[in-house]
């Protein structure tokens, strides 16, 4: 696990124990795991990204916890800014005061946003241009369709899409989902995953072989 207060690096692409991060991306106060890849023009702040997860280009991520093997397509945004609609004005001069010469910024507003973390489970696929609102959890194995706006928690192994996103179907039946959540293959060591790659292509065989009974 690596911690970046700031990042500026140019490397040839190679996935290894050290993350690959495109030099055009801005990373601040973020933990990034091994075998990870951060694509072009990403902005990531105050977040954590688990092993083997990757982002494509032009993603914006803040105040989010991303688990392992997460597939993040281009233009995905996690935890977008939410303006104070209940105040007399929702403009950010009320909390970004320093920009306008109105004094110190309102830290309580930003702390409120930090407390509404987005949580993304293992082996999740976030489709192109999807938006996950603050405080939402997306369960292990779930799929979020392209251009969806997710305002509520997403169940493990469900497929959601739309504005707002709703469940379209589940990837597997209840029995298989239960077994997959028991197996937790994403916690296997790197070498074990490599030896068992072929088994992933047949889900029923996979759960028979690695499930508990």
Catalytic residue annotation: 83
User: Nearest CA to 161 among 151, 171, 150?
Assistant: 150
3-state helix, strand, coil in the chain (%, to 5): 20, 25, 55
Helices H, strands E: what count in the chain?
4, 20
What does the alpha-carbon distance between residue 212 and residue 176 come to, in Å, rounded to a whole number?
Answer: 12
52 and 69 Cβ atoms separated by less than 8 Å = yes
DSSP state of 184: -
d(CA 22, CA 24): 5
In angstroms, the CA 205 to CA 189 distance is: 20
């Amino acid at each position: 696990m690596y911690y970046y207060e700031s990042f500026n690096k140019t490397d040839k692409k190679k996935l290894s124990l050290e993350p690959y991060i495109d030099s055009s991306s801005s990373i601040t106060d973020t933990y990034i795991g091994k075998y990870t890849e951060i694509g072009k023009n990403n902005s990531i702040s105050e977040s954590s990204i688990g092993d083997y997860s990757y982002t494509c280009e032009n993603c914006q991520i803040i105040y989010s916890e991303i688990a392992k093997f997460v597939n993040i397509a281009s233009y995905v945004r996690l935890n977008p800014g939410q303006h104070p609609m209940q105040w007399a004005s929702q403009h950010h001069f009320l909390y970004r005061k320093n920009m306008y010469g109105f004094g110190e910024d309102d830290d309580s507003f930003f702390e409120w946003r930090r407390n509404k973390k987005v949580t993304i489970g293992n082996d999740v696929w976030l489709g192109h241009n999807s938006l996950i609102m603050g405080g939402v959890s997306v369960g292990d194995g779930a799929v979020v369709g392209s251009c969806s706006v997710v305002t509520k928690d997403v169940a493990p192994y469900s497929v959601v899409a739309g504005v707002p996103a709703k469940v379209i179907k589940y990837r597997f039946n209840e029995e298989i989902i239960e077994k997959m959540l028991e197996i937790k293959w994403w916690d296997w060591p790197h070498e074990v995953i490599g030896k068992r790659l072929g088994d992933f292509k047949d889900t029923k065989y996979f759960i028979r072989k690695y499930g508990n009974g």
